[in-house]
């Protein structure tokens, strides 16, 4: 139905399965569990404080964007009260849409009983004969470049958009699928604009709307976002209906990356451990491949001489060794008979702390080795101004200047030098991003200078040495591997996710007073991280390697 055909009737809730936009990027087994009546009282993982904080941050961000846009568009802005009852919010939304409101913030769309959909969106924008959805997210949606179609917040409409000479679209498949969900709901209730398949996103910078054409063949294989969404939703609906009606389950548990943060992991873990499922050591598509070949348990995998199918995540012989290590309760085994790690006369361990995509607020360094006229030990280069901020440039410049001075002094004394990190992707990302963002300021290196350093033999990724020389039955993260080397963090809650929560308190976000104790906690956490990489490197260089089981002997 189009706008001219009058106001659609309110739907009443039935027993139909209704799914939100998140299901299309969610684990299929989770969709089953969420819709299985027998799982209503199952024990789930407690709410993750960091995840809850991220959601709270997202709500704050959306409120800020709403206030900014309402002030800029000046006319035609309608906001649906979030604290009203759902039925009242739905009535208010439909009245605003039927009345032709230009912008409707926080709409409550009618349930799509036929399509099995429920959900909402941050903003609906009048376009042509109907409305298009706009999503507000707390992550980056563009990168420097050109070609993105954007419109300013004062005119957040497809008609007000242009090809941006300064931005290119950052691929965010999840955003597009969420928008496709709402576009289908708009069509179901008669308020879609059939002349547009455009949908917008306002990102963390909150300065423009970025428009996606959901009918463009931009997905692998020339698919469109709408076609990808339709296929995924049909699959998840089948899974959910089978669970809700007691039918044969269409999704069984299997360990994937998402399991780490899933509230249903205790349920799945108990099932997987009881069956000694092969995904406990080989995740994702590799586990599916092994099951197709008749290898369903860790015991069966450990018993084979050669895996009969090709694997994408690891070598076939490594999968067998990992299974045998898991059965012996071994965290780490040697892949190589002789373990090596690059060492130098002067060594600096580096660890960066960032706050999401907002910036890098701390660069921690541990100087050890030969004397270069600088006191050995830990030092940090940090800003406690809430990110993003200009003071981030100062802390990064001080870090880079100090590090290059150590390089210079080592060379002047004829000493070898190396700096170390654990998984260089994060440190490299923020060194390059900082050089680009703050280029031209005092002490800031050029992007080419950073690239030259991170590609040199002086910059060593200890994670790479671990990955290449060990097989790790329980993961290769620093918090997993360093304890095998005898290292312990002082803080029992040490971890990247928790550090986000500590940072919020440390800088006093949301008008709270800054908590000095959390600043100290972050400094100690960062210091322990760099000491952990040193401990790991010393362990890898020690005779203790001879006592570590060798993969070829398992």
* Cα–Cα distance for residue pair 460/71, rounded to 1 Å: 50
Per-residue pLDDT of 461-482, as tens digits, reads 999 999 999 988 788 899 999 9
Per-residue pLDDT of 412-447, as tens digits, reads 999 999 999 999 999 999 999 999 999 999 999 999
Q: Using the predicted structure, report yes or no on whether residue 303 has a pLDDT greater than 80.
A: yes
Per-residue pLDDT of 390-416, as tens digits, reads 999 999 999 999 999 999 999 999 999
For residue 11, the model assigns a pLDDT of 40
Question: Pairing relation of β-strands 459-461 and 417-421?
Answer: parallel
The predicted model scores a pTM of 0.78
**Residues across the chain:** 554
Give the least confident one: 239-248, 376-385, 472-481, 531-540. Answer: 472-481
Residue 523's Cβ-side half-sphere holds a number of Cα atoms within 13 Å equal to 14
Burial group, residue 44, by CB count within 10 angstroms (0-12, 13-18, 19+): middle
> Alpha carbon 174 to chain centroid distance?
11
> Whole-angstrom distance between the N-terminal and C-terminal Cα of the chain?
67
* Cα–Cα distance for residue pair 77/542, rounded to 1 Å: 67
Per-residue pLDDT of 191-209, as tens digits, reads 998 777 999 999 988 999 9
For residue 54, the model assigns a pLDDT of 78
For residue 50, the model assigns a pLDDT of 67
Contact 294, 311 (CB under 8 A): no
Which one, of 356, 1, 341, lies nearest residue 192 by Cα? Answer: 1
For residue 49, the model assigns a pLDDT of 67
Which one, of 272, 253, 155, 138, lies nearest residue 206 by Cα? Answer: 138
Higher-confidence position of 499 and 34: 34
Q: What count of other Cβ atoms lies within 10 Å of the Cβ of residue 64?
A: 12
* Cα–Cα distance for residue pair 227/85, rounded to 1 Å: 33
What average pLDDT does range 281-298 have in this prediction? 92
Per-residue pLDDT of 334-359, as tens digits, reads 988 899 999 999 999 999 999 887 89
For residue 13, the model assigns a pLDDT of 38
What average pLDDT does range 218-225 have in this prediction? 94
Residue 338 has what DSSP assignment? Answer: S
Per-residue pLDDT of 519-545, as tens digits, reads 999 999 999 999 999 999 999 999 999
Q: Using the predicted structure, report yes or no on whether residue 261 has a pLDDT greater than 90.
A: no
* Cα–Cα distance for residue pair 472/477, rounded to 1 Å: 9
Cis before residue 531, ω within 30 degrees of 0?
Answer: no
Q: Please give the domain boundaries of the chain with CATH numbers for all domains.
A: 53-238 (no CATH), 346-553 (3.30.420.10)
For residue 3, the model assigns a pLDDT of 35
For residue 124, the model assigns a pLDDT of 97
Give the least confident one: 14-23, 56-65, 357-366. Answer: 14-23
| Confidence class for position 70, pLDDT limits 50, 70, 90 | very high
Residue 112 has what DSSP assignment? Answer: B
Q: Using the predicted structure, report yes or no on whether residue 126 has a pLDDT greater than 50.
A: yes
Higher-confidence position of 15 and 26: 26
% of the chain surpassing 70 pLDDT:
97
Higher-confidence position of 315 and 183: 183
Give the least confident one: 178-192, 287-301, 358-372, 504-518. Answer: 504-518
For residue 6, the model assigns a pLDDT of 34
Q: Using the predicted structure, report yes or no on whether residue 10 has a pLDDT greater than 60.
A: no
Q: Using the predicted structure, report yes or no on whether residue 186 has a pLDDT greater than 60.
A: yes
């Amino acid at each position: 139905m189009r706008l001219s055909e009058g106001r659609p009737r309110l739907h009443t809730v039935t027993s139909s399965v209704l799914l939100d936009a998140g299901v299309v990027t969610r684990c299929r087994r989770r969709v089953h569990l969420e819709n299985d009546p027998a799982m209503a009282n199952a024990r789930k993982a407690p709410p993750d404080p960091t995840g809850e904080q991220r959601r709270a941050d997202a709500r704050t961000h959306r409120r800020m964007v709403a206030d900014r846009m309402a002030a800029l568009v000046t006319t035609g802005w309608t906001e649906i009260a979030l604290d009203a009852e759902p039925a009242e919010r739905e009535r208010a939304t439909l009245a605003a849409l039927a009345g032709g409101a230009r912008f409707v913030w926080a709409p409550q769309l009618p349930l799509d009983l036929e399509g099995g959909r429920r959900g909402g969106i941050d903003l609906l924008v009048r376009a042509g004969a109907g409305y298009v959805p706009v999503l507000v997210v707390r992550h980056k949606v563009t990168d420097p470049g050109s070609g993105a179609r954007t419109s300013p917040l004062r005119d957040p409409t497809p008609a007000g958009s242009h090809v941006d000479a300064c931005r290119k679209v950052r691929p965010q498949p999840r955003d597009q699928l969420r928008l496709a969900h709402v576009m289908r709901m708009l069509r179901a209730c008669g308020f879609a604009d059939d002349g547009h398949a455009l949908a917008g996103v306002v990102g963390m910078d909150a300065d423009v709307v970025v428009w996606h054409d959901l009918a463009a063949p931009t997905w692998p294989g020339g698919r469109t976002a709408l076609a990808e969404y339709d296929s995924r939703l049909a699959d998840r609906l089948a899974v959910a209906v089978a669970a809700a009606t007691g039918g044969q389950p269409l999704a069984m548990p299997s360990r994937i990356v998402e399991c780490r943060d899933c509230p249903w992991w205790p349920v799945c873990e108990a099932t997987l451990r009881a069956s000694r499922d092969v995904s406990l050591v080989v995740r994702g598509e590799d586990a599916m491949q092994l099951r197709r070949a008749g290898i369903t348990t860790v015991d069966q995998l450990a018993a084979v001489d050669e895996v009969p199918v090709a694997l994408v995540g690891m070598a076939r012989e490594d999968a067998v060794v990992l299974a045998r290590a898991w059965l012996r309760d071994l965290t780490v085994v040697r892949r190589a008979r002789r373990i090596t790690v690059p060492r130098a006369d002067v060594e600096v361990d580096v660890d960066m702390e960032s706050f999401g995509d907002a910036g890098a607020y701390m660069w921690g360094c541990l100087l050890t080795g030969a004397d270069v006229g600088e006191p050995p030990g830990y030092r940090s280069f940090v800003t406690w101004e809430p990110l993003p901020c200009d003071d981030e440039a100062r802390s990064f410049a001080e870090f880079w200047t100090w590090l290059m001075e150590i390089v210079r002094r080592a060379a002047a004394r004829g000493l070898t030098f190396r700096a170390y990190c654990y998984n260089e992707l994060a440190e490299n990302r923020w060194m390059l991003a900082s050089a680009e963002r703050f280029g031209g300021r005092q002490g800031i290196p050029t992007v080419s200078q950073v690239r030259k350093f991170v590609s040199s033999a002086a910059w060593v990724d200890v994670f790479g040495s671990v990955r290449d020389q060990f097989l790790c039955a329980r993961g290769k993260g620093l918090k997993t591997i360093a304890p095998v080397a005898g290292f312990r963090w002082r803080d029992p809650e040490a971890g990247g996710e928790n550090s986000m929560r500590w940072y919020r308190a440390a800088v006093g976000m949301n008008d709270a007073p800054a908590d000095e104790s959390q600043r100290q906690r972050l400094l100690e956490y960062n210091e322990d991280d760099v000491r952990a990489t040193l401990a790991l490197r010393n362990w890898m260089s020690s005779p203790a390697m001879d006592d570590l089981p060798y993969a070829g002997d398992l």
